[in-house]
Amino acid sequence: MTVTAQPHYSAEEKRKRVFAIISASSGNLVEWFDFYVYSFASIYFASQFFPSGNSTAEFLKSAAVFAVGFLMRPIGGWMFGRIADRVGRKKSMVVSVLMMCGGSLAIAVLPTYASIGVAAPILLLIIRMFQGLSVGGEYGTTATYMSEVALRGQRGFFSSFQYVTLIGGQLLAVLTVVILEQFLTEPELKAWGWRVPFVVGAVAALVSLMLRRTLHETSKAEDLNKKEAGTLAGIFKYHRAAFLTVLGYTAGGSLIFYTFTTYMQKYLVNTSGMAPKTASVVMTGALFLYMCMQPVFGMLADRIGRRHSMMLFGGLGTLATYPILEILRGNSNSFFAFALITLALAIVSLYTSISGLVKAEMFPPEVRALGVGLSYAIANAIFGGSAEFVGLSFKNAGHEDWFFIYVTIMMVIAFLVSMRLPKTPSYLHTDH
């Protein structure tokens, strides 16, 4: 491990950089709250848009719409990555959060199947596609921005706050549902209570918009004006290997992330037999600890190196995924389930705490946002966004353990691809 001399930052420079991290990540939190609240609230509104009388079938259709939102991410990753690399990171982040705000507000007032028939699920699908564009651009631009403003020698720690707020968005989404469950009956939640989180998300997005407008731009004029800036040709002509490497480990990382976060709530209800309220409480506690783990694992990566963290993630994920999912399938004890899910999320933290940084380090500034955003979005759309749908489909077919095998195979691929990561990052000056 080669240790390079660390730059001296003035107190004012440190303050500005930390404030930039906070402002960028707070917007990230709202974006992901708005996107994830769909998944957690869907156990109550699925029957309002996809009435069938069969809970698994209703969840399956709801998950399909969730997955379609992910399929829009590559377009969003390309669109906002291009904006960030050609116009600036700040403008890209402002526009993306504004789009998410509009989508959440639209869902909050959307009529149900009982009111407008088949138009209801169609409109829901269109809105989620719109939000998918927004969040598709959010990841790459935010990862790029945070990697560029983080302090040298502590980039793993500071960049981990992208997932602190990403998970925080999930946590606040499920916590909002838990709070509503304490005050409303199940019929009330199904009738109108599920709309409340979307109203909260729309209002919070406006606050985020104000914060993001205070950010300073990290892009340099010479990078924005380069001929290949924000172009696919600039990536595939000069940085194809980096793109494919990011694509490879993001596939497994996204799949296991969504398996143990958004899908896990439904898994506990639909497979383990937990009551919806109990499952929500378990996931709230697990997500809170998961959020707190990110800076710790970010600091670990600063000590042992990004490549070693990623290889540990792939190796431990390969060994532990099947046993954890199998044990959870036959367990209805909430405390034991909480412990197992927390263990799984600790393994995932080896990836999530530094994933944005590792990706950003592989691309030069003129194609960084596009390279990170597009590669992440493609892998996330195919493997992450489909996690619920694939899991529920295998269960519906009577072969739920095939899903366990599928996740394990993808973790093997993540491990193998992580071995291809450079020992010394090429484009950001770091310790490792």
Q: What is the pLDDT of residues 230-241, one digit of tens each?
A: 888 888 887 888
pLDDT in tens, 299-346: 999 899 989 999 999 999 999 999 999 999 888 789 999 999 999 999
Q: What is the pLDDT of residue 196?
A: 93
Instruction: Provide the b/e sequence for 330-362 (b: ≥16 CB within 10 Å).
Output: ebeebeebbebbbebbbbbbbbbbbbbbbbbbb
Would you give the DSSP letter of residue 150?
S
Q: What is the pLDDT of residue 427?
A: 65
With a cut of 80, say whether residue 392 has pLDDT above it. yes
Answer left, alpha or beta for residue 117, where phi above 0 means left and psi between -120 and 50 means alpha.
left
Average pLDDT taken over every residue of the chain? 85
Q: What is the pLDDT of residue 1?
A: 41
The encoded tokens of residue 69 equal 């939102």
339: Cβ–Cβ under 8 A, 6 or more apart, which residues? none
* Phi, psi (degrees; rounded to nearest 5) at 363: -125, 145
Identify the weakest region by mean pLDDT among 11-15, 27-31, 153-157: 11-15
Best CATH choice for the domain 13-215+229-418 from the list 1.20.1250.20, 1.10.510.10, 1.10.260.40, 3.20.20.100: 1.20.1250.20
Give Cα 316 to chain centroid, integer Å. 21
With a cut of 60, say whether residue 256 has pLDDT above it. yes
With a cut of 60, say whether residue 431 has pLDDT above it. no
Reported as a pLDDT band with limits 50, 70 and 90, residue 54 is: low
Query: For the residues 168-175, what does the mean pLDDT come to?
Result: 83
With a cut of 70, say whether residue 150 has pLDDT above it. yes
With a cut of 70, say whether residue 206 has pLDDT above it. yes
CA–CA dist 81, 97 (Å, integer): 14
Helix or strand or coil: residue 160?
Answer: coil
Answer left, alpha or beta for residue 146, where phi above 0 means left and psi between -120 and 50 means alpha.
alpha
Q: Residue 107 in contact with residue 121, Cβ under 8 Å? A: no
**In the chain, where are the structural domains located?**
13-215+229-418
Q: What is the pLDDT of residue 2?
A: 42
Helical ranges in 50-72 per DSSP H: 55-71
Q: Residue 246 in contact with residue 375, Cβ under 8 Å? A: yes
Is residue 130 within a helix (H) or strand (E), and if so which, with residue range? helix 119-149
Reported as a pLDDT band with limits 50, 70 and 90, residue 173 is: confident
Alpha carbon distances (Å) from 289 to 106, 286, 293, 325: 32, 5, 6, 19
